[in-house]
Amino acid sequence: MTPALTGFATGFSLILAIGAQNAFVLRQGLLQSHVFWLCLFCAASDAVLITAGVAGFGALVEALPALPLVMSLGGAAFLTVYGITRLVAAWRGGEAMEIAGRDHSLMRTLAIAAAFTWANPHVYLDTLGLIGAVSTQYADWSARIVFGAGAVTASFVFFFGLGYGARLLAPLMRSARAWQVLDLVIGLTMLAIAWSLVAGVL
């Protein structure tokens, strides 16, 4: 497999699992709210981190042993708060549908996306750690750059596909019950990720 295809497959497989960031993009896609800028922000953030990982930035973690602990606890706290808000919305039922229809400002949407992206230790593990580690199999820098470009392309394809593809589910999300189920799933996902972060450092 060529470096480009290896990079694409590696990046796509790592980002495919539904996580906090992906759940947020899915929800905004269903609302059709700031989809382009949100997808661009998430993909561009991944591009920066993947580039840093391929360039060897992972050495920073080795230089600062306490960094994973700080990142994990901070990320867990944020995910717990957001997860609880979604569970509350699911419990309220009818109000959840009303809240879902409200359009947050672009800046608030990007701020939430930034927290999900830059305060999530899993993002650093996948981009700086795993993708960076896989890239070391290429001794030639030109091949390593092509590998990184493939991984970056995977992020753009995934986020824009998720954001705009969510519209296909829009007809199913017209009822308050559907939003309750979605908020319940998202809330439980956030709490599960938060727990895994804490359990991983204890």
Q: Read off the pLDDT of residues 126-165 as tens digits, 9 standing for 90 and up.
A: 787 777 777 876 778 888 899 999 999 999 999 999 999 9
User: Does the pLDDT at position 116 exceed 70?
Assistant: yes
**What does the pLDDT read at residue 126?**
73
User: Does the pLDDT at position 81 exceed 80?
Assistant: yes
User: Does the pLDDT at position 99 exceed 50?
Assistant: no
**Better pLDDT: 31 or 67:** 31
Who's near 102: CB < 8 A, 6+ residues apart?
A: none
Helix axes 20-31, 35-54, angle to 10 degrees: 160
Domain count, the chain: 1
For range 83-101, the mean pLDDT: 67
pTM over 0.75: no
CA 33 to chain centre: 17
Q: Which amino acid is at 105?
A: S
Q: Which is nearest to 176 in space by CA: 100, 122, 116?
A: 100
Both tokens of 44, joined, read 């561009």
Q: What is the domain extent for residue 114?
A: 3-201
Binned at pLDDT 50, 70 and 90, residue 199 comes out as confident
**What does the pLDDT read at residue 45?**
94
Who's near 192: CB < 8 A, 6+ residues apart?
A: none
User: Does the pLDDT at position 29 exceed 50?
Assistant: yes
User: Does the pLDDT at position 98 exceed 50?
Assistant: no
**What does the pLDDT read at residue 161?**
93
Q: Which of 36-40, 66-70, 193-197 has the highest mean pLDDT?
A: 36-40
Who's near 34: CB < 8 A, 6+ residues apart?
A: 28, 104, 106, 109, 110
For range 74-89, the mean pLDDT: 79
For range 91-98, the mean pLDDT: 58
Looking at residue 170, the DSSP 8-state letter turns out to be G
Determine if residue 175 is left, alpha or beta; phi over 0 gives left, psi from -120 to 50 gives alpha, anything else beta: beta
| Range from 26-35, 65-74, 177-186 carrying the lowest mean pLDDT | 65-74
d(CA 167, CA 33): 11
Q: Any idea which residue has 């080795």 for tokens?
A: 62
How big, in percent rounded to 5, are the helix, strand and coil portions of the chain? 85, 0, 15
Binned at pLDDT 50, 70 and 90, residue 15 comes out as confident
Percent of the chain with pLDDT over 70: 80
Contact 54, 132 (CB under 8 A): yes
**What does the pLDDT read at residue 174?**
65
CA 183 to chain centre: 17
